[in-house]
Structure 1
Amino acid sequence: MKIEGNTVLITGGDSGVGLALAKALLQLNNTVIIAGRNDEKLLQVKNKFPRLHAVKCDLCQDSERKNLVSELKNQFPELNIVINNAGVAFFSDLRDENFYENIVKEMETNFLAPLRLAQLFSEHLRNQPYSAIVNIGSAAAFLPLTVMPGYSASKAALHSVSQSLRYQLRNTKMQVIEVLLPPVDTQMVVDFKMKKLSPDKVAAEIIKELKEGRVFIPIGQIKILLWIYRFFPGVMGVLANRMVSNALNK
């Protein structure tokens, strides 16, 4: 993948891995737009990194997704890479009163928003000399977590649709790339007492793998876990959930 001289949109780019990717891509002479829901966070990031472009958008609202796409196509006609990084996760139990509402929000943010943006940007991206959609996924797509059923399901759906779209677009100049993250030191997994990679280290590895032309990119220890999963899926699922339970002291 060409990693310099692009115009890149990063959803959830005001913190964590999204912000780390934004900083790394800026250093590679890309024009970078970050999207987020929080005005204050976007302003803070913009003040710290003036070369970044920031736009507010609630990705759970289809009207805002449409407005985002329309605005960016007009303001940044050379936009050619969309990184679907925004994500939410909840600890959910079937007996919880807000179980269903939490899963709806996870599916909207983690799966339906990336799918919708891919659809809305599709024609624009296909008309670029080179373009890509990068979906930030998780090992939970393969190893569903008992404590996060909605998050796991949303990432499994994202993995499936990434494969489908990659095949649909195989004869075009538009790539579909999937990244699988391990636990990263962000607010999302603050309750997990386990080893986590820094967002900057994760971003550096993603950039390296993109530069080498990978379209399926497991990061860090996920490479080993997926190799074991190929041969012992049941055992790996039990071990993964045991590790998470220990990390939560449950």
Structure 2
Amino acid sequence: MNISGNTIFIPGATSGIGLALALELRAKGNTVIVGGRRTELLDQIAAEHPGIDTVRIDTADAASIEAAAKEVLALHPDLNVLVTMAGIMRVEDWHTPEFLASAESVVTTNVLGPIRLIAAFIEHLRAQPDATILTVSSGLAFVPLRITPSYNASKAAIHLLSESIRLQLADTSVRVVELEPPSVRTKLLPGHDTNEFAMPLDEFISEVVALIEAQPDATEIQVENVKFMRHAEARGSYDQVVRSINSVDHTN
């Protein structure tokens, strides 16, 4: 993925990693369209950051994805990058069946959402001379956090989905790149934006953009902080890393 000269749609970018990445990519010379569910946040982003377009989209709703895709492509027929950023994280207790509603919501947003987004844009992206699908998994795709089973599983699914469609789309102009964040200080979980274990958001985004710029042909974007999880099994330190990440309170 080239660092500049793109037209990029980022659904799930009204806060956290999505918004920070959108602003940084805009500063690097890209046209950026931000998508999200809450119109008040979209209006605020448009007012505070002239030049960034906004589109309402609920990635848990198939009809909303279809409508947003039509709107984005009508306004930006040169779109060549899709970032499947939207995602949710829930603490679950599987001792009783009450976890089910949470698990279904996580899978719908984190797995079906990206699949439906890619389906809505793939024909358009294939028609571009140089296009990118940037998926977003997690360090937790590779080692589990005890309190978030469905989230871990959803991100593992995104990792293997990314690997698989990269193989299928190798005969097209569409690159598939996987962003693998570590724990980052956002509000993905309550209190997590002040958690000292997590990586500061600005440091994470700066490193991500630097990696994209330095390695435009990379298939995985891994900041240093995620590598201890990403490569734990290959290093033979899987059990140690699982113990380490589960010894920390991730909600404070």
Smaller-chain TM-score bracket: over 0.9
Structure 2, gaps ≥5 residues long:
none
Q: 1:68 Cα shift?
A: 1.0
- Cross-structure match for 2:169: 169
* Counterparts of residues 105-120 of structure 1 (less than 5 Å): 105-120=105-120
Choose the corresponding residue for 2:232, options 224, 228, 231: 228
Confirm or deny: 8 A CA contact 1:82 1:133 kept in the other structure. Answer: yes
SS of 1:82's equivalent in the other structure is strand
Q: 1:232 Cα shift?
A: 2.3
Give 2:246's aligned amino acid.
Answer: R
Using the aligned pairs only, state the percent identity.
32
Higher mean Cα deviation, 212-221 or 109-118? 212-221
TM-score normalised according to structure 1 size: 0.93
Tell me: CA distance 1:46–1:239, structure 2 relative to 1, closer, same or farther (3 Å). Answer: same
Give 2:14's aligned amino acid.
Answer: D
Confirm or deny: 8 A CA contact 2:55 2:72 kept in the other structure. Answer: no
Q: 1:2 Cα shift?
A: 1.4
Q: Which whole-Å deviations, capped at 9, do the CAs of 1:42-78 have from their partners, x for residues lacking one?
A: 1111111011111111110100011111111111100
SS of 1:181's equivalent in the other structure is coil
Choose the corresponding residue for 1:207, options 206, 209, 220: 209
- Cross-structure match for 2:21: 21
Structure 1, gaps ≥5 residues long:
none
Confirm or deny: 8 A CA contact 1:143 1:240 kept in the other structure. Answer: no
Q: 1:100 Cα shift?
A: 1.0
4+ runs of 1 displaced by more than 3 Å? Answer: 95-98, 189-194, 246-249
- Cross-structure match for 2:104: 104
Give 2:181's aligned amino acid.
Answer: L
Are residue 191 (structure 1) and residue 196 (structure 2) matched? Answer: no
Higher mean Cα deviation, 34-43 or 225-234? 225-234
SS of 2:2's equivalent in the other structure is coil
Q: 1:172 Cα shift?
A: 1.4
CA distance in 1, matches of 2:35, 2:46: 11
Tell me: CA distance 1:227–1:153, structure 2 relative to 1, closer, same or farther (3 Å). Answer: closer
Q: 1:210 Cα shift?
A: 1.8
RMSD, matched Cα: 1.8
- Cross-structure match for 1:144: 144
Higher mean Cα deviation, 94-103 or 156-165? 94-103
SS of 2:143's equivalent in the other structure is coil
CA distance in 2, matches of 1:14, 1:247: 22
TM-score normalised according to structure 2 size: 0.92
Q: Which whole-Å deviations, capped at 9, do the CAs of 1:17-65 have from their partners, x for residues lacking one?
A: 1111111111122110000111111111111101111111111010001
